[in-house]
Amino acid sequence: MQHQQNILILDFGSQYTQLIARRIRESKVYCEIHTHSFPVEKIKEQNPTGIILSGGPMSVYEDDSPKVNPEIFNLGIPILGICYGLQLITTNFGGKVEAAKSREYGKANIELVDDDVLLMGVNDGSVIWMSHGDYVTDMPNGFTVTAKTENSPLCAISDPKRKIFGVQFHPEVAHTQFGKRVLDNFIFEVCGCKADWTPQHFISEEIEEVKAKVGSKKVICALSGGVDSSVAAILIHRAVGEQLVCFHVDHGMMRKNESEAIIKMFDDHYNLHVIHIDASELFLSRLAGVTEPEKKRKIIGNSFIEVFESEAKKYSDAEFLVQGTLYPDVIESVSVKGQSVTIKTHHNVGGLPERMNLKLIEPFRELFKDEVRAIGRELGLPEIFIKRHPFPGPGLAVRVLGEITKERLDILREADDIFISALHEFHLYDKIWQAFAVLLPVQTVGVMGDARTYENVIALRAVTSTDGMTADWFRFDGDFLENVSNKIIRSVRGVNRVVYDISSKPPATIEWE
């Protein structure tokens, strides 16, 4: 989609780059992340309203550190350099960057030195967030210092004539008190953007684009029942109506009553043409005896493609496939050395488009999860559905550790249902990014009545996160955990022990497999 105005973020490998994008989009301005080696010709073609150079883990004076094409400073486009970005601006304009005697990491207080459009509305002495081992020791030509801290005498620099600015701190992180103001000053005051990138605007643009692309052809969609595929289906349905056919494949590893609830919701409210395929027996027979996680995923992925393909062949006039791919899946990620660029390929229905000769429609490939939720709200999806926690494609298969059988899946379904119901009951569900139960492949001794038991262990997992990239375990109070544990052990046959997982990501992942 071509956007009339957009901010281009060039990534130098900072862990905070996605945060810059999220903050700008929160201000209703469209922005995109590209790797630092994004060619100048393409930048000219895109004609961004402003450019932001991100932070990065390297030192600008190292030989193999990522550089920026100096030509971008002559395009007449406003530029803001953050941390490493500031240091790139400095070296490009004849200043000097050196290693600091002590790394500055964490909170510092900003001291305003000179009036500056970028720092308008920032309180003198307010808290900023630092994360750097180098600092500017000689000013670049044509710039003035606008702020300093105790350890960084040149903490913010400005050349309003050329509209080039640099800050040593990170305005995108929540710890910087007036960080949002600094970014807003850049996008609105310096670049002159308008705050018009809204869900309504996105929906109407996308509908027009899909109509033009699809014409009178058929479109198919794999409807998992997750937020992304459901919002995508409703959006595309708005554009092409009856030309959209949705398939919901029940692979036998959905949560309790989940497939029925999904079909009912779409039948009752959205007039969508949904075909329900119960392929649980096929999947379970192929998974019999398999314990290795990667092998399980492969079997499920391949079987899914096979089932979907055989159903979709009945619609030989279909030319398009809808996928709920999100922006974090397509962002080019920069390695620490800045040289190798790896593009994460992660398609919900991997391999299908090529095999079936279908063209892809990915309405959300420029959006973050919370933006998809906002679009779902605008399209009238129920809140309880929009706020659903992420659920993996292979479903409960990655939460039944060891061999997958119907019996083990049923044990997990019951335990998981008790846990999730309790989260809703105690109004905790919306405070958590993802919560679920895991069935472990170990059995432990217990006592029930007067008899010894030798039964299964259920682990509970609940994490907080903003995007799933990092996550922290949720601090339940002991009474809640005790309540859930008692209920699971009393109600679910075959379970005599419940444990709670207190690992963060990293080093652990959110899912267990």
Catalytic residue list = 83, 170, 172
Amino acid at 361: I
Q: What is the DSSP letter of 122?
A: P
Dig out the tokens for 234 from the structure: 């409703």
- Cα distance between residue 154 and residue 28, in whole Å: 31
- Cα distance between residue 194 and residue 209, in whole Å: 22
Q: What is the CA angle 341-464-259, rounded to 5?
A: 90
Counting Cα atoms < 13 Å in the Cβ hemisphere of 293 gives 10
E strand segments, 163-278: 164-167, 218-222, 244-250, 274-278
Q: By 3-state DSSP, what share of the chain in percent is helix, strand and coil, each rounded to 5?
A: 35, 25, 40
List Cβ neighbours of 69 (8 Å cut-off, separation of 6 or more): 39, 40
Dump the DSSP string for 377-403. HHTT--HHHHTPPP--TTGGGGTB-S-
Count other C-beta atoms under 10 Å from residue 126's C-beta. Answer: 15
- Cα distance between residue 128 and residue 438, in whole Å: 41
**How far is residue 171 from each of residues 26, 121, 369, 427, 457, measured CA to CA in Å?**
14, 13, 22, 33, 45
List Cβ neighbours of 295 (8 Å cut-off, separation of 6 or more): none
